[in-house]
A and B are shown apart, each in its own frame.
Chain A
Amino acid sequence: MTQWIDIGPITAIPVRGARVIKTAQGCVAVFRTTKDEIFAVDDRCPHKGGPLSEGIVHGASVTCPLHNWVFDLATGMAKGADQGQIGTYPLRVEGGRMLLDVTYLAKKDAA
């Protein structure tokens, strides 16, 4: 069962930027690309825990601000020579508002 929660207007996130959502399971970063696509992923680089929301966004990727690991925001997979994956969460836009499916967060908790 899905449970969509309104997390705010898409304009709250700068283009090629990110904002953070606090959850009981840790922070989730919500990204907005040049093309106004939005993605929600774990705000923690698997390498050394860098806050991905502070990274540089390019295409549909983000570069970790600590050691430049690059992640594909759609799949969560690390790109280039690095190996790793971050969690991704269903997110959609309706009437300019972003809706996050929080059931996935609960599942993550159980995992």
Chain B
Amino acid sequence: MKKLIVIGAGMATGRALEHLFEADPDAYEVTLFNAEPRGNYNRIMLTPVLSGEKTYEEIVTHDAAWYESHGVTCRFGEKIAAVDRDRKVVVTEGGEELAYDKLLFGTGSNPFIIPMPGHDLDGVIAYRDLDDTNRMIDAGGAPGSKAVVIGGGLLGLEAAAGLRMRGMDVTVVHIMGHLMDRQLDEAAGYLLRKALVDRGINICCSANSKQILGEDGHVRALELADGTELPCSLLVMAVGIRPSVALGQASGLAVGKGIHVDDQMVTSDPDVLAVGECVEHNGAIFGLVAPLYDQAKVVAATLLDQEAVFTPKEVSTKLKVTGCDLFSAGDFAEGEGREDIVFRDPARGVYKRLVLENDRVIGAVMYGDTADGGWFHGLIKDGSDVSDMRDTLIFGPSFQGGAQMDPLQAVAALPPEAEICGCNGVCKGQIVTAIAGGAQDLGAVRAQTKASGSCGTCTGLVEQVLAVTLGDDFVIPAAQPICGCTDFTHEDVRLLIKTKELKSQPAVWQELGWKSPDGCHVCRPALNFYLLADWPLEYKDDLQSRFINERKHANIQKDGTFSVMPRMWGGITNPQELRAIADAADKYNVPTVKVTGGQRIDLLGVKSEDLPAIWADLNKAGMVSGHAYSKGLRTVKTCVGTDHCRFGTQDSTGLGIKLEKALWGSWTPHKVKLGVSGCPRNCAEATCKDVGVICVDSGYEVSVGGAAGMDLKETQPLAKAVTEQEAIDMTIAFVQLYRENAKYLDRPYKWIAKVGLDWVRDRVVADLEGRQGLIDRFAISQSVYQKDPWAEHIAERAEVYHPLANLTLEAAE
């Protein structure tokens, strides 16, 4: 077997090895060196790690088992000191020599550090690898700590957003007049700036950094040229990267900005290849991941003496900051003979701009609504003549040809080279090939092509490609079966439970031909909910079909401990309750006491076996479970209302308490959160809840379908209530309608999107008799299910919280 030595375990070499082993697992014996003391991870996902949305383990792309199964010798944490190309050996830092037949450089790039005074102080870091990320996470730990990020490009803004999510006070300093000036025009830059300022990030544009000030060797502040001092304990420099070429240069390879490679990714030495951010190809260097993955394919082919050519493509950019929708591709500078088409909708915060030259799109910038980004990107890459559709071009593919086009037709019209997944550089053709090769659903396509496997924003597109390719063979995701145990959808099962009067899980399994003896972890919780919602008096709730959080009435944490949260009606508490909570925290050594976003107090880190006792203590003080773990009513958030606020109208706090007392304990398809605000200033943030009530002088504005979780959704107005009772009635009727109809794990906004708000309004607002029927059925359910699970479990099930036996002595023998 020939010997391949790879220097650098980054995303490009990782992908190259994958392609290599896929094509011929036995061609090379591979030794992989990496300066970082770890293997390959998905570097573009460091931002979610920084913000806390993902852990490092979740972004590892190749683990020890992968390397082992492919026979890769890993030398992580070791650097290569020299390459002797004449003798075809590499020399490690420790002086060891290893021979190669082929050598692959994947040394990546180094972050550029501006050599201004103070750049070597403690607390000044770049944003490049996991160690940098961890240092930033550590710095975010101290409350009120301040950070400055130099650089308002992609990387700098992602760092700033992540640090902000860690609770730091963050200021971005950018030398140009607007953010992301290389990807955005001024108008889009302005919108982006506004969005970031709204989330509490300070932005200084046209700001020149002069020096970094320190104290006892640690950064204290950044001084700008105009004398402004920005205090900080962490300074992140994210001003760009430079190909890491030192080793290549020392090895005598041809090097410019990067290591020179030809179309086959071969350097000036035929036995030495290079890939990734360290290379220079036809004068260009590369920082985004899509071209790197293209290069990786070519490298693998070249190593196997197959033909392949690297052709750089137009790349597009997306900002990976949750909630900032931004897309940019091509060239959008102004110039002779260039024309602009601009669309603005300030109220929605939407801005789109296309740059045309000779009837061809050469640049596109979109902010706020980027759904058509891929299509425009395709037009740019293909150089399509757009003169025929110029009038409606800005409205995207759906509006071409006068009438609104079926989105599936738009996908069908995409050429095979159209990029579907930007993160992994997967185009439509590859997905179609995978489908032809047997991948019949999203999971299989993801496994084979990696499309939609990283940030996931293209999941819908991938499904559409599946639908277009498979035609009638592809069941649209809405009609996917609940799980592998059945061919029925959630909707079918709900319907059949009602029409066939199926009142137990075994009845469902039997009558509907379940393929497994007793379901699985996916269908059982759903069935359990459907049955208890439809037959509250007849069905017996099955704890063993509930996820651990609901079975043990506490949230499981990553270390297996639990959190305990007592209910505080409408967010109101008193000294006696606070004392009881404090006493419980002391008595059970609760490591963390946290005020939640829903205005309740969470005791985190309680051992399973202590749960019954801590509950008993809280019960004694008059407190019941807050259901913070349940697919049920979580909290009703309130402002202070007329009692204290000079703007408040109506007794909004009182209404919040009434709603919580009416709805608590009910089980729902997903969690349900409410908010009641005393005036349109909306201090209770009622407009991003499942049901929000805004009190106004003339009554109550009830709105529904908001969310502030995976998706951000503003509520839509349901109706205006004149009396408080009417507001309560509409809320209860809405919740019951949701309980009776929605698919398990659909929040109300998802369910409303399926049935339509008008359909909901007809039943909850217009049809008074129907509304009363919903309220009555809810009351029947509450007669069974509105009870404190803590009290119930202390009385009936305390023993299951304890070990069955303790054999520590026997096993010690």
Contacts and interface: CB of A to CB of B under 8 A. Distances in A.
Contacts of A35: 517
A22 B807 contact: yes
B438 interface: no
B521 A56 contact: yes
B517 A34 contact: yes
A49 B520 contact: no
A21 B804 contact: yes
B805 A7 contact: yes
Contact of A16 (B544, B799, B807, B810): B544
Contacts of A81: 447
A17 B517 CA distance: 15
B524 A34 contact: no
B548 A48 contact: no
B556 A66 contact: yes
A58 B524 contact: yes
B55 to A, nearest CB: 9
Nearest to A32: B544
Contact of A102 (B65, B524, B807): B807
A24 B805 CA distance: 12
B804 A8 contact: yes
A68 B556 CA distance: 14
B336 interface: no
Contacts of B806: 21-22
Contact of B811 (A12, A15, A25, A57): A25
B166 interface: no
B108 interface: no
Given A24-B811, A58-B520, A102-B810, A49 B560 contact: yes
A50 to B, nearest CB: 7
Contacts of B545: 16, 56
A63 B547 CA distance: 10
A21 B807 contact: yes
Contacts of A87: none
A6 to B, nearest CB: 8
Contacts of A30: 804
A37 B336 CA distance: 79
A35 B543 CA distance: 17
Given A5-B810, A56-B521, A83-B65, A65 B548 contact: yes
Nearest to A3: B810
Interface string A41-54: 00000001111001
Nearest to B65: A83
Contacts of A8: 804-805
A49 to B, nearest CB: 7
Given A22-B805, A50-B560, A109 B811 contact: yes
A16 B447 contact: no
B517 A59 contact: yes
Given A56-B545, A66-B558, A81-B447, A5 B804 contact: no
B552 to A, nearest CB: 7
Interface in B145-204: none
Contacts of A51: 556, 560
A78 interface: no
A40 to B, nearest CB: 10
Contacts of A12: 799, 804
B284 interface: no
B755 interface: no
Which of B516, B545, B811, B813 gathers the greatest number of chain A CB atoms within 10 Å?
Answer: B811
A-B pairs, top 4 by smallest CB distance, nearest first, are A63-B521, A19-B804, A16-B544, A56-B521
Interface of B: 57, 65, 447, 516-521, 524-525, 543-548, 551-552, 556, 558-560, 608, 799-800, 803-808, 810-813
